Amino acid sequence: MKKMNIRNAAAALAALAALAGGCSDKSAPSMANRAPVEVRVAKPICKSVEFWDNYTARLDAVAFVEIRARVGGYLQKVCFKEGQKVAAGDLLFVIDPRPYEAALAAAKAQVGEVEARLALAKNNDSRAKELFAAKAISKETYETRSSELLSADAALLAAKARLRDAELNLEFTHINAPMSGMVSESFVDEGNLVAANSTLLTNIVKSDVIQAYFEISERDQLRYKKTGLFREIDPEKKTGPRVKITLLDDGTQREGKLTYFDNRMGKATSSLTMRADIDNSDGLLAPGMFAKISVLGERARKVLLVPEDIIGTDLVNRYVYTVGADGVVQYKEVKVGRLFGKYRVIEEGLSEGDRVVAVGLQRVMPGMKVSAKDMSFEAE
């Protein structure tokens, strides 16, 4: 009984050994004959691109002025319609001029009186010279007449100054627009008392040119110095590198020029304020809006582009897989630059002729031989 069991066990082991050997014989040729993994490869896109930097800008008017009265009195007339466009010199308000007309008349009379005294003082001084030369009067009397002439001269100057002041005050009762632009509402109604230099009457906004203010970081400031962007800005001539603004609400775009940058970094923000001038002759842009502003940070240059999603990341580097002429996969470390849509600039590590694995990345590893089919990237 025991011998039969031993024989049965031996037979079972032999059968298992034969089965294992058969399986081994069948799998060996299968592994050897397996076809290479198929992947699709493409050459990097080589094209010339411009490098634009995006910031958030606040739009402001090129000029804004608050209109206040320079003399006090009762507001007699409002000479404009709220919200209308006015030209420099247009009459806006009239303050009751009658008190100032009376003051002007009094100043003119005072000038006439002083001129009469001056004429008398000149005659007295002339006679005193003759009498003193003939020794008919004392030296003291002669000096008194000369002093009276000097005093009359000074009085005339003072009277003329008061006359000029009265003329200016009368002129200030008519308030004209200091610049062209759009006037707001009248903040004071006719008949109300206006205080000199304090009562706000209205304001004017000049917005045929809109100024876009934005801030750049310390890193961007250093980069712009190296690229020469600041040297192209001429605040006096209002010229500089071109910019584009895009309204946040509807995507409307406008072009303009950088015309100003501050002379120091902000203490609180460690950023530099810059300004661009945007044409607004159609009045579409309004002060107080926010927009995205794009600055041409670097002139166009040739770069290599590959899709961002085929660039791998390990613990140390960014990399791509390429396939050589022998069909073997290679690991290539790359230095990446800026992102353009779905494409990333490759600054170092690739050449125009490299065949980069674009499809089938999950099935390959360095050193593996593959079957590569060519395709092409499509740049945006």
Helices (H), 204-338: 218-227
**CATH code 2.40.420.20 for 37-49+301-374:** yes
Q: Which CATH number fits domain 66-202: 1.10.3720.10, 2.40.50.100, 3.20.20.100, 3.40.50.10240?
A: 2.40.50.100
Other CB atoms within a 10 A radius of the CB of residue 352 amount to 10
35 has which bridge partners? none
117, 149, 255 from 310: Cα distances, Å:
100, 99, 35
Q: Is the fold of 37-49+301-374 the same as that of 66-202?
A: no
Q: Which CATH number fits domain 53-62+207-300: 3.90.850.10, 2.40.30.170, 3.30.1360.20, 3.90.950.10?
A: 2.40.30.170
pLDDT truncated to tens, each residue of the chain (380 aa)?
Answer: 444 343 344 334 333 443 444 444 444 444 445 678 899 999 999 988 888 899 999 999 999 999 999 999 999 999 999 989 999 999 999 999 999 999 999 999 999 999 999 999 999 888 888 888 888 888 888 889 889 889 999 999 999 999 999 999 999 999 999 999 999 999 999 999 999 999 999 999 999 999 999 999 999 999 899 888 999 999 889 899 999 999 988 888 999 999 999 988 888 888 999 999 999 988 889 999 999 999 988 788 899 999 999 999 988 899 999 999 899 999 999 999 888 889 999 999 999 999 999 998 889 899 999 998 999 887 54
Tell the residue number behind the tokens 């008017």, with chain if given. 61
- SS3 of 62-100: EEEEEEECCCCEEEEEECCCCCCEECCCCEEEEECCHHH
Give the integer Cα–Cα distance in Å for 46 and 25.
51
User: What is the per-residue pLDDT across 251-290, written as a single tens digit (0 to 9) for each?
Assistant: 889 999 999 999 888 888 889 999 999 999 888 899 999 9
User: What is the per-residue pLDDT across 85-99, written as a single tens digit (0 to 9) for each?
Assistant: 999 999 999 999 999
The DSSP 8-state label assigned to residue 239 in this structure reads B
Give the integer Cα–Cα distance in Å for 103 and 73.
14
Give the integer Cα–Cα distance in Å for 166 and 163.
5
Sketch the domain layout of the chain as residue ranges. Answer: 37-49+301-374, 53-62+207-300, 66-202
